[in-house]
């Protein structure tokens, strides 16, 4: 099945977790990715919230796969900030391999955050955000032409 952003925004949190759990880790990505926050998933509010976040808060991530790091693109002008270490490790969701985006040693403002991503399609990753080990929201990353 092919997934897209509008479809993910319509899925429930449980369905997103199921998709994440059934997907492979994939390769550690490289380059810029367009990010979409999936907040209030499966509700009529999810697309509007995602659009607001994309415009004013978070546009995506830029990966340096060779060095195992990334920077988030934030604020309306795409400031490159909030660095994370990137590596493969077991997921907090199901203990299967995923790509971890770890802010614990690289960021004062996001040190409690751990993101996990898995490949759900070509150049398309589904992510899960954890705050102090507790699930918070989902997000997706589109690489290639979509970025």
Q: If DSSP states are collapsed to H, E and C, what string results for the chain?
A: CCCCHHHHHHCCHHHHHHHHHCCCCCCCCCEEEEEEEECCCCCCCHHHHHHHHHHHCEEEEEEECCCCEEEEEECCCCEEEEEEEEEEEECCCCCCEEEEEECCCCCCCCCCEEEEEEEEECCEEEEEEEECCEEEEEEEEECHHHC
The pLDDT, as a whole number, for residue 147 is 66
Q: Round the CA-based radius of gyration of the chain to a whole number and report it.
A: 14
Domain ranges for the chain, please list them.
5-146
Entry pTM: 0.94
Print pLDDT tens along the chain (147 aa): 789 999 999 999 999 999 999 999 999 999 999 999 999 999 998 999 999 989 888 999 999 999 999 999 998 877 888 999 999 999 999 999 999 999 999 988 899 999 999 999 999 999 999 999 999 999 999 999 876
| Secondary structure of residue 14 in the 3-state scheme | helix
């Amino acid at each position: 099945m092919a997934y897209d952003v509008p479809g993910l925004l319509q899925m429930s949190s449980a369905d997103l977790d199921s998709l994440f759990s059934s997907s492979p880790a994939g390769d550690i990505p490289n380059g810029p990715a367009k990010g979409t926050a999936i907040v209030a998933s499966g509700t009529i509010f999810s697309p509007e919230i995602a659009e607001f976040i994309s415009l004013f808060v978070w546009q995506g991530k830029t990966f340096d796969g060779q060095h195992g790091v990334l920077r988030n693109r934030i604020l309306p002008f795409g400031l490159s900030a909030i660095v994370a270490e990137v590596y493969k490790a077991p997921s907090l969701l199901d203990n299967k391999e995923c790509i971890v985006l770890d802010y614990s040693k690289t960021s004062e403002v996001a040190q409690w955050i751990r993101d996990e991503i898995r490949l759900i399609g070509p150049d398309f990753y589904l992510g899960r955000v954890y705050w102090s080990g507790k699930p918070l929201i989902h997000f997706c990353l589109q690489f290639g032409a979509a970025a």
